[in-house]
């Protein structure tokens, strides 16, 4: 039989703990909501910036294309039935914009002169054309087509004058949303959805990827219900467009999380009520709650460390080719140089240059030039067999390969393998003057224990060897002998027989 004070103690303790559990549940729900909102804000801001950058890049590409192909556009506008001009222009558009859905040409009054597919200009298109002809910026918007949704990018191919109002006009290309859907899928936060919202006079239309990541026929669209904006976790406008990127919790996800938290809290309260007469169980319950809180903190700490590691990886990677950048190369090369001197092993360096790359860019354009560099970088990386070998983009069309514990003969064999592999890619280069496809010249230099040099000198000698290969006609390799110059850091003597050397 409990005494009066014991019963009062149990009642007060039960009320106190009940209040603590309710407050903890509310804080956990609020913490979950805040965390989801922070995830959504980061994902929305990053993805909106990436979509903006993609739109700007395509605008610049379209402006350059129209500038270069203005004569063909004018000829096709004057004679839409000219199949030869139509074929040439269509082929060139396919090279520059392989992802495009269609293209069209209008005159200075916005009337459709030619389109490679059967389309009709709606009022939104006509409004955009009038804005572009007036010199204003074109706000990118979603167009609901017959078969798929798309957006247009427009450029004036020739300004109409007062004497000839029908001369000149607008050239525009229609694009689908597959690339934007891919961005949304890659940036998707856990338990959330990213949607692209098109703000127009008729209302708000929602565009989101399909469940498998690819949008059927471009995108799946439906109108949002009234008040849907109140459920947004975050939103960000896409500059230069009528789009807003918004993040939602998946349907019912917030309710499920709240129900889970409330269920856990109710279970904890029931457990406490059953064993409230025993103070020990109260202590155990507090310890369990603290352990869960510590586990949650460790989980988020691990997530933060993974994010930091990803940021570090991006900082040492070349954005275009995906291989190491110049800064990371020098960091790795400094380590390998010290290891080579300490272990009394050779260290080889290959300096690689794409032959006549400026002529390639002038002939095929910078977009094809970038694709060429990516393929060459991938080819070099696949040719290297050892995980210790390092390939990096040194700058422009130059690459550098670091070969630890590789003598001069081995380095020359690897260089020849790289040269042959690049040529076997058969990337056309009609203005090369060296070959009918893209080739490389390679300079080889090896620092040996007998002739050690510092890293800067090794790079300089490899560059001189590369210059010799170019002077000899390109599409070849050349080796530069090390003359026995010693580096500022004297190399260590050869380790005694049978005694291993230290590693980094």
Identify the residue with better confidence: 150 or 291. Answer: 150
Question: In this predicted structure, what is the pLDDT of residue 258?
Answer: 66
Computed over every residue of the chain, the mean pLDDT equals: 80
Q: Does residue 289 lie within any of the structural domains?
A: no
Question: In this predicted structure, what is the pLDDT of residue 178?
Answer: 82
Whether residues 330 and 269 share a domain: the answer is no
Whether residues 340 and 213 share a domain: the answer is no
Question: Which structural domain, as residue segments, surrounds residue 403?
Answer: 326-480
Beta bridge partner(s), residue 104: 115, 172
Domain end position, chosen among 242, 277, 312 = 277
Whether residues 273 and 339 share a domain: the answer is no
* Cα 149 from Cα 60, distance rounded (Å): 23
What's the total number of domains in the chain? 2
Whether residues 339 and 475 share a domain: the answer is yes
Q: Does residue 302 lie within any of the structural domains?
A: no
CA dihedral 12, 15, 19, 25 (to 10 degrees): 130
> 14-41: string of b/e by CB count within 10 Å (b at 16+)?
eeebeeebeebbeebbeebeeebeebbb
Whether residues 126 and 226 share a domain: the answer is yes
Q: Does residue 182 lie within any of the structural domains?
A: yes
Kindly report the three-state secondary structure assignment for every residue of 120-189.
CCCHHHHHHHHHHHCCCCCCECCEECCCCEEEEEEEEEECCCCCCCCCCEEEEEEECCHHHHHHHHHCCC
Q: What is the DSSP letter of 428?
A: B
Structure tokens at 466: 């590369």
CA dihedral 494, 495, 496, 500 (to 10 degrees): -150
Domain end position, chosen among 243, 277, 311 = 277
* Cα 354 from Cα 374, distance rounded (Å): 12
Whether residues 57 and 123 share a domain: the answer is yes
Number of H helices, E strands in the chain: 12, 15
Give just the sign of the alpha carbon dihedral 218, 70, 372, 90.
Answer: positive
Question: In this predicted structure, what is the pLDDT of residue 278?
Answer: 59
Structure tokens at 274: 């059953």
Per-residue pLDDT, averaged over 188-197, amounts to 79
Whether residues 40 and 163 share a domain: the answer is yes
Question: In this predicted structure, what is the pLDDT of residue 495?
Answer: 37
- pLDDT tens digits for range 374-387: 999 999 999 998 98
Is 474's pLDDT higher than 80? yes
Whether residues 452 and 369 share a domain: the answer is yes
Whether residues 121 and 268 share a domain: the answer is yes
Q: Does residue 490 lie within any of the structural domains?
A: no
- pLDDT tens digits for range 392-435: 999 889 999 999 999 999 999 999 999 999 999 999 999 988 99
Which residues lie below 8 Å from residue 120, measured CB to CB, with a gap of 6+? 112
Question: In this predicted structure, what is the pLDDT of residue 120?
Answer: 79
Whichever domain contains 205, its CATH number is 3.30.450.20
Whether residues 218 and 132 share a domain: the answer is yes
Q: Does residue 286 lie within any of the structural domains?
A: no
- pLDDT tens digits for range 99-148: 888 899 998 888 888 888 877 788 888 888 888 888 888 888 887 666 67
Question: In this predicted structure, what is the pLDDT of residue 296?
Answer: 84
Whether residues 251 and 344 share a domain: the answer is no
Structure tokens at 295: 């586990």
Question: In this predicted structure, what is the pLDDT of residue 228?
Answer: 59
Give me the phi and psi of 405, to 5 degrees please: 50, 40
Residues in the chain: 504
- pLDDT tens digits for range 487-503: 333 333 333 333 333 33
Q: Does residue 346 lie within any of the structural domains?
A: yes
Is 58's pLDDT higher than 70? yes
* Cα 9 from Cα 17, distance rounded (Å): 12
| Residue 382 CB burial class (10 angstroms; 0-12, 13-18, ≥19) | exposed
* Cα 487 from Cα 465, distance rounded (Å): 20
Question: In this predicted structure, what is the pLDDT of residue 493?
Answer: 33
Q: Does residue 4 lie within any of the structural domains?
A: yes
Is 463's pLDDT higher than 90? yes
* Cα 206 from Cα 478, distance rounded (Å): 60
Strand order in the sheet with 100-106: 112-115, 100-106, 169-175, 149-158, 143-144
Q: Does residue 494 lie within any of the structural domains?
A: no
Identify the residue with better confidence: 300 or 146. Answer: 300
Whichever domain contains 337, its CATH number is 3.30.70.270
Whether residues 216 and 336 share a domain: the answer is no
């Amino acid at each position: 039989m409990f005494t009066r004070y014991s019963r009062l103690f149990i009642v007060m303790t039960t009320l106190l703990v009940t209040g603590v559990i309710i407050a903890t549940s509310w804080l956990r729900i609020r913490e979950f909501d805040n965390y989801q909102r922070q995830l959504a804000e980061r994902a929305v801001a990053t993805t909106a910036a990436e979509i903006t950058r993609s739109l700007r890049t395509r605008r610049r590409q379209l402006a350059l294309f129209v500038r270069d192909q203005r004569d063909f556009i004018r000829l096709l506008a004057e004679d839409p039935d000219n199949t030869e001009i139509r074929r040439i222009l269509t082929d060139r558009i396919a090279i520059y914009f392989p992802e495009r859905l269609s293209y069209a040409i209008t005159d200075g009054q916005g009337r459709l002169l030619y389109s490679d597919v059967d389309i009709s200009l709606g009022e939104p298109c006509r409004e955009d054309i009038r804005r572009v002809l007036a010199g204003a910026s074109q706000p990118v918007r979603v167009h609901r087509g017959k078969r798929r949704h798309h957006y247009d990018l427009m450029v004036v191919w020739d300004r109409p004058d007062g004497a000839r109002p029908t001369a000149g006009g607008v050239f525009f290309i229609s694009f689908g949303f597959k690339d934007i859907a891919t961005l949304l899928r890659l940036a998707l936060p856990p338990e959330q959805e990213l949607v692209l919202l098109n703000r127009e006079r008729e209302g708000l239309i929602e565009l989101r990827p399909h469940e498998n990541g690819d949008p059927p026929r471009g995108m799946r669209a439906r109108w949002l219900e009234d008040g849907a904006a109140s459920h947004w976790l975050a939103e960000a406008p896409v500059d230069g467009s009528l789009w807003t990127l918004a993040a939602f919790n998946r349907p019912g996800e917030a309710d499920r999380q709240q129900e889970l938290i409330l269920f856990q809290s109710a279970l904890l309260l029931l457990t406490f009520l059953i064993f409230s007469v025993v103070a020990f169980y109260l202590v155990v319950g507090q310890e369990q709650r603290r352990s869960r809180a510590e586990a949650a903190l460790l989980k988020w700490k691990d997530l933060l460390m993974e994010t930091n590691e990803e940021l570090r990886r991006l900082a040492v990677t070349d954005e275009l080719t995906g291989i190491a950048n110049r800064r990371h190369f020098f960091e790795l090369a400094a380590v390998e140089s010290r290891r080579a001197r300490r272990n009394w092993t050779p260290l080889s360096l290959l300096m690689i240059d794409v032959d006549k790359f400026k002529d390639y860019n002038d002939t095929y354009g910078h977009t094809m030039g970038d694709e060429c560099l990516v393929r060459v970088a991938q080819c070099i990386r696949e040719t290297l067999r050892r995980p210790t070998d390092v390939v990096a983009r040194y700058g422009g069309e130059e690459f550098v390969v670091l070969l630890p514990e590789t003598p001069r003969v081995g380095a020359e064999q690897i260089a020849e393998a790289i040269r042959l592999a690049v040529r076997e890619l058969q990337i056309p280069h009609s203005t090369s003057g060296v070959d009918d496809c893209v080739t490389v010249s390679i300079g080889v230099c090896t620092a040996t224990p007998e002739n050690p040099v510092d890293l800067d000198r090794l790079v300089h000698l490899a560059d001189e060897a590369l210059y010799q290969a170019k002077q000899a006609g390109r599409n070849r390799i050349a080796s530069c002998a090390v003359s026995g110059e010693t580096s500022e850091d004297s190399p260590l003597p050869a380790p005694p027989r049978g005694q291993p050397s230290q590693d980094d």
